[in-house]
Chain A
Amino acid sequence: MPLDKPYKDVPGTTIFDAEQSRMGYALNQFCMSLMKAENRERFKADERAYLDEWPMTEEQKQAVLARDLNRCVELGGNIYFLAKIGATDGKSFQQMAGSMTGMSEEEYRNMMISGGRPASWKPEEKK
């Protein structure tokens, strides 16, 4: 019997399942290494060289360099791991989450204050 993955059709959402986790292992472990202050410093000093120490795909490295979190998620990243990149950059969780929505930081913050995004949201409703 094939695995039941009913979450595949939820719009604008990638569920971090065992398959994504397998794909993203090295990417997420790289993120995890940024929990150490000395590694944050080494990464900031030469991002490319630091990334090259990890058995990540070139696509994953490019997504990290571009801080394209949606692409990172697509390639197996998980937001709690990716948050370590944000922490290294001095970004809050709200700034990181907002960066994935195509909204400006202020638009996203205001959306949250006025009650957040409805569960009925569909991508085409975006302006």
Chain B
Amino acid sequence: MARITASVYTSHVPAIGAAIDLKKTEEPYWQKVLGGYEFSRQWMEDNKPDVVFLVYNDHANAFSLDIIPTFAIGTASEYAIADEGWGPRPVPKVLGAPELAAHIAHSVIQQDFDLTVVNRMDVDHGLTVPLSLLCGETKEWPFKVIPFAVNVVQYPVPSGMRCFRLGQAIRRAVESFGGDLNVQIWGTGGMSHQLQGPRAGLINREWDNRFLDRLIDDPEGLANVPHIEYVREAGSEGIELVMWLIARGAMADVNGGGKPLLRHRFYHVPASNTAVGHMILEETT
């Protein structure tokens, strides 16, 4: 059967993508960010999955205000890189995992999560910056990707608990797939940041680190945190962090299995407007 072997969490700040694409990675400002991913790139090479189920949000690129799906799963065989207005990032196109994606869509909808199924979409920095951070510069991405886009742009976004329960449903879906596949699930976005209004530039180091602590040890309790706390404490765009709860909900320990192993934890302020958080949890069974 297909197995979830690890979950990876990371911010997806667009400026990190720009720094990589414009060859600014040696600058001290960016070294402080990218240094936190050196371990992870080696770890990815040593623990290469077949498929990454990548939870992210679209930033007004694939989805305009014409249609606003709360949860959208990509079932295509490939995805082009979006032109977000600065021209597309010069990174490889993303190859999908259509059979596993269709299986997950079917299973998760039957578990009462009403997913939107997407057969064509461009992917933006929310998806490609995590790939760059974990895989470096490459001619092709070393695994297939199932893009899973969550609406965190237009309020109300799904609650933390809804996301956590969805993660649990995704685990059941993956484990019921016949093929023998090594699957990782990534939760991206955050950490604290606010990009709009006179309050732009908000960062909350203490809150973010408490979020990371609880994501490891008390994810279900963390899933009860209401939206308004994210807005007040982590900024209007800090709400993206609910997506990390989807990945966390898919781990064994919250589905009757053993505790995961914390392989890596990193936190840094700032990357552009944003606090960068990153963590790797590996399954032990």
Q: Give the interface of A toward B (CB within 8 A).
A: 6-7, 10-18, 21, 24-25, 28-29, 31-32, 34-37, 40, 69-70, 73, 78-81, 83-84, 86-88, 92-94, 96-98, 100-102, 108, 111-113, 115-119, 121, 123, 126
How far in angstroms is the closest Cβ of chain A from B90?
A: 15
B200 touches A101 (CB 8 A): yes
Q: Is A97 within 8 A of B86, CB to CB? A: no
Which B residue's beta carbon lies closest to that of A25?
B65
Interchain CA distance A29-B63 in the complex, whole Å: 11
Main secondary structure of the interface of B (DSSP, over half): loop
- The answer to the question of B139 belonging to the interface, with a C-beta cut-off of 8 Å to chain A, is no
Are the CB atoms of B228 and A6 closer together than 8 Å? yes
Contact A87 B199 (CB under 8 A): no
30 sample A-B contacts, Cβ–Cβ < 8 Å, listed by A number: A7-B228, A11-B198, A12-B197, A15-B155, A24-B65, A35-B83, A70-B198, A73-B196, A79-B196, A80-B59, A80-B60, A80-B153, A83-B60, A84-B84, A92-B272, A93-B15, A94-B272, A94-B273, A97-B200, A97-B273, A100-B196, A102-B198, A112-B270, A115-B205, A115-B269, A116-B201, A117-B201, A119-B204, A121-B202, A126-B198
B residues touching A (Cβ–Cβ < 8 Å)?
14-15, 18, 29, 59-61, 64-66, 68, 82-87, 153-156, 192, 194-205, 207, 227-228, 231-237, 269-270, 272-273, 275
Nearest B residue to A3, CB-CB: B156
User: How far apart sit A53 and B65, CA to CA, in the bound complex (Å)?
Assistant: 18
B23 to chain A, nearest CB (A): 16
Contact B199 A11 (CB under 8 A): yes
A7-B155, A28-B65 known; A119+B232 contact, CB < 8 A? yes
Cβ-neighbour of A29 out of B64, B233, B272 (below 8 A): B64
Residue of A18, A37, A93, A119 near B233 (CB, 8 A) is A119
Given contacts A25-B65, A28-B65, A116-B275, contact A111 B201 (CB under 8 A): yes
Residues in chain B near residue A112, CB distance under 8 A: 201, 203, 269-270, 272-273
Name the residue of chain A whose CB is nearest to the CB of B63.
A32
